[in-house]
Structure 1
């Protein structure tokens, strides 16, 4: 990860990219199908019983069409499936297939290994401090005016 970023949001973005690069390269090296960042985000936002595309889009902070494209790419790869929503005849739920669950579990294990590499590189205290700061409730985003 480069440290050319000028501010905290840029540093956070670089840190996320570092994790994604490690995860995606490791998964592909292990023989898994390559996925995009948007497709990986779908997995992170899915409920076990399934989630609608509209809800996935809301959780991901993207347009419904963007979520729809990511979902249908994953359906085409055999990692997700569409099923009827038992609570509404008009809605369909997106959920993992058995293969999708296997890949998701492997990705979670890979993230654990990447996190251990980070601990080796920057130390356990730094990682605990970082995790603590990111888990802390920051409250609602402030509305501010620059001086």
Structure 2
């Protein structure tokens, strides 16, 4: 890689931070309580029918303890609720509350608006190509 080019992971991280900064600002402007990046990531990983803490930890790449703490903060905020898993007597599912559903829909709308702003700045073709590349199955990371 030429010395004047920054590593791709650094560029991806900066792009992620752009969204992590823009989304709370957009939600606050819409009158929704902004969430931390960790809360947003966990909230976005939920299934509509409910998701276990263990599954949320796997999907977001954090420890179960970290996912549990973040989920608890969202329960305290009234955005999530914990309900028994109908398929297992030992597991609990996290689901959005009606307030959480409203916040989720506002976040989806805000993200679409941010993506539109990004397309205005970078060009629709560039954003489409970026999305296409990121949606591909990259396979398992090389081992050495």
TM above 0.5, one fold? yes
Which blocks of at least 5 consecutive residues in structure 1 are unaligned? none
* 131-140 or 99-108: bigger deviation: 131-140
Matches of 1:90 and 1:39 in 2, distance apart? 25
- Is this contact kept in 2: 1:5–1:11, CA < 8 A? no
Matches of 1:5 and 1:37 in 2, distance apart? 27
TM-score (norm 1): 0.91
Aligned to 1:89: 89
Matches of 2:5 and 2:27 in 1, distance apart? 27
Superposed CA offset, 1:68-122 (max 9, x none): 1110100011100000111111111100001101100100000000001011101
Aligned to 1:110: 110
Q: Give the 4+ runs in structure 1 shifted more than 3 A.
A: none
TM-score (norm 2): 0.93
Matches of 1:133 and 1:104 in 2, distance apart? 25
Aligned to 1:44: 44
Number of residues of Structure 1 aligned to a counterpart in Structure 2: 141
Which blocks of at least 5 consecutive residues in structure 2 are unaligned? none
